Each structure stands twice: as structure tokens, then as C-alpha cells.
Amino acid sequence: MAYNTLEVTKEGGVCIIKLNRPKALNALCNELTMELAQALAKLEADDKIGCVILTGSEKAFAAGADIKELQEGTFLGMYEHDVFGLYWEAVARFRKPIIAAVAGYALGGGCEIAMMCDFIIAADNAKFGQPEINLGVMPGAGGTQRLTRAVGKAKAMDMCLTGRMMKAPEAHACGLVSRVVALDELMETAMDAAGKIAHQSRPIAMMTKEAVNTAFETTLTQGIHFERRLFQSMFSTEDQKEGMAAFAEKRTPHFTHK
Ligand code: DAK
């Protein structure tokens, strides 16, 4: 399927979704978020895909929601159509592993969409921010919640109240991103990580993601209980038998996703 605002390529078990509105620094217009949700729905159902990389250009991952579309918005319009709930949350709802490979600006909704991914690998020119306050609004797609969980109250308050940008080293130091690499190594690094994930057992990788995400939604006791039950259930899979047999036989496992 051809998209107007995305480039979608597949390599092995990995799919790269590149946000592609260069003239607007990948501002997240309605068409782009709708296409992103459509692409993810297809990938969810694609048996050959085990991991997705979401990326942008070297200058901008995404400079936020499209301000020119937003400026005439009304409460009722947003409430009734809830484009954000409908399309934007598709990244957070995606069940397979998804990595954000961020270069350049990741601002407002751009930072929020990167945070909806499972982890962020940043290029050394990446800049993160929640500058909505400069526009007379506040983050509306998880910025006050996911950023706070990722970096703690002090840094999240600083970012959301001043609207300042955070460069890659600071984002790494406070735990917003998992790694920082040179700009020209960004996609290679992301592909290497995604390739490793895509070669694991798919249901096991999905359950692992689900377990880590549960840490943000529940108490420690409930989270540990959920983890233990998932762990036990993995012993009903062929991939558990294969993974452990391969270790004992000193060979590479061949997972069948069963
Ligand atoms: N929207 C629309 N167009 C944008 C844009 C954006 N967010 N960011 C950049 N552009 C456009 C510019 O207008 C310009 O277009 P032309 O003038 O050439 O037609 C082109 O991209 C290049 O931008 P600049 O000329 O400004 O480029 P610079 O290198 O000088 O500056 C910049 C780069 C990223 C610092 C600057 O463009 C900038 O400050 N952009 C805005 C960043 C921002 O404020 N982002 C937050 C947007 S608000 C909601 C949930 C979530 C949200 C809203 C609602 N609900 C649940 C209802 C999210 C809101 C946001 O993200």
C-alpha cells in the first residue's frame, strides 16, 4: 500500500516506518497519524514482521502535532472526533516491539509518539521537548504522564513548564533514551537491535513487552504476579523447548513462533 506521508520498507523480519513530511518537519497532521495507524494495523497482522522501527529524517523525527491544523480546533470537534485517541494511540497499542530511532527534533506530539514506542535510540543531534506551553496549551498525548514516568517529576516539570529542549546526552543521562549514537550510525544501530528482536520467538517477545509495560500500570506485587504467570505459561510453547535445547546442544535456536 502506498502512503502520502510515510515510507514503509521491510527487511528480514523488520519493518521501517519513516515519517515523511519533510517540508513540515514531519508535523503530525491528521493524514499522517491516520496512515501511521493503518500501517501499524497491517504490521500487527503480518506474520513475517517481528519488530518495527519508527523514524523520521535527519533534521526531524517529528516537530509535533500540525499546529496549522490544530489552531482552529474546538473542544467539541476534538471531543467528538477524538483523532488523538483514535490514531495517535495506535503506537502505544501496537503489540509487537517497536523502536523509535530519533534524529533531530522530537517535539510535542513527536516526543510523545517516540515515548509510546518501547524504547528510543537517539542520534547525537536529537532534541526532545514538550514546548506546547509556548502555544498556550499543554501536552495532550501522554507528555505529562509518560515523560514523568521516564525521567521523574523534576525533569518533566522543567520540560513541560519551560518548554525547553533537551539534547541527546541529557536525554540519555535522565533515562529518556536507551542509547545515543552518531547520526550516521542511527539506522544501523536501530536495525541491529530490531533484527535481534525479530529473530527471537515472537510470542515471547510480545509477552516480554507486555510484562515490562505492566510495571507502569500496576503495583509491584501485581506486576510480579503477572510476570510469574507469563513466565510459567511460556513453558507451554515450542519455542521454550527449542531455546533451551539449542543451548544444551550448543547451537543457534530456530524459533517457530509457536
Ligand atoms: N506544525 C506545523 N508546521 C510546522 C511545525 C508544526 N509543529 N513545525 C514546523 N513546521 C513547519 C514550519 O511552519 C515551516 O513551514 P514553512 O513556513 O516553511 O511553510 C517548516 O516546518 C520548517 O520549520 P521552521 O522554518 O520553523 O524550521 P526551523 O529549523 O527554523 O525551526 C523548529 C525548527 C522545530 C524549532 C520549529 O519549526 C518549531 O518550533 N516548530 C514547532 C514545534 C512545536 O511547538 N511543537 C509542538 C506542537 S503542539 C492533542 C494531543 C497532542 C497534541 C495536541 C492535541 N489532543 C489530545 C487534542 C500535540 C500538540 C503538539 O505537538
pLDDT digits (tens, 9 = 90+) for 43-80: 999 999 999 999 999 999 999 999 999 999 999 998 88
List Cα–Cα distances, 109 to 219, 233, 244, in angstroms.
28, 37, 42
The overall average pLDDT reported for the chain is 96
pLDDT in tens, 132-172: 999 999 999 999 999 999 999 999 999 999 999 999 999 99
Residue 85: its pLDDT value, please? 80
Nearest in space to 104 (alpha carbons), one of 165, 194, 192: 165
Q: From the CA of 67, give the closest atom in ligand 1.
A: 1
pLDDT at 229: 97
pLDDT tens figures, 194-212: 999 999 999 999 999 999 9
Q: pLDDT at position 100, please?
A: 98
Cα-to-centroid distance, 26 and ligand 1 (Å) = 8
Does 109 participate in catalysis according to the annotation? Answer: yes
Mean pLDDT to the nearest integer, 217-230: 96
pLDDT of amino acid 129: 98
65 carries an active-site annotation: yes
Q: Is the pLDDT of residue 1 over 90?
A: no
Query: Taking a C-beta distance cutoff of 8 angstroms, is the pair 100, 119 a contact?
Result: yes
In DSSP notation, 158-184 reads HHHHH--EEEHHHHHHTTS-SEEE-GG
Whole-number pLDDT of residue 53 = 98
Mean pLDDT of 110-129: 98
**Most informative mutation of 67, 87, 165 for ligand 1 (most atoms within 8 A of CB):** 67
The confidence score (pLDDT) of residue 82 equals 83
Cα(67) to centroid of ligand 1, in Å? Answer: 6
Does 88 score more than 80 pLDDT?
A: yes
> Which amino acids bring their CB within 6 angstroms of ligand 1?
24-25, 27, 63-68, 70, 78, 84, 105, 107-109, 131-132, 135, 140-141
User: With 80 as the cut, is the pLDDT of residue 83 above it?
Assistant: no
Provide the percentage of residues in the chain whose pLDDT is more than 90: 94
Of the candidates 60, 112, 171, 193, the residue annotated as catalytic is 112
**Are 108 and 69 within 8 A, CB to CB?**
no
Q: Rounded CA gap, 106 and 62, in Å?
A: 5
Report whether pLDDT(177) > 90. yes
- Written as nine digits, the cell of 130 is 514538550
Measured distance CA(137)–CA(186) in Å, rounded: 32
Can you give the pLDDT at residue 81? 85
Ligand 1 atom closest to the Cα of residue 143 is 51
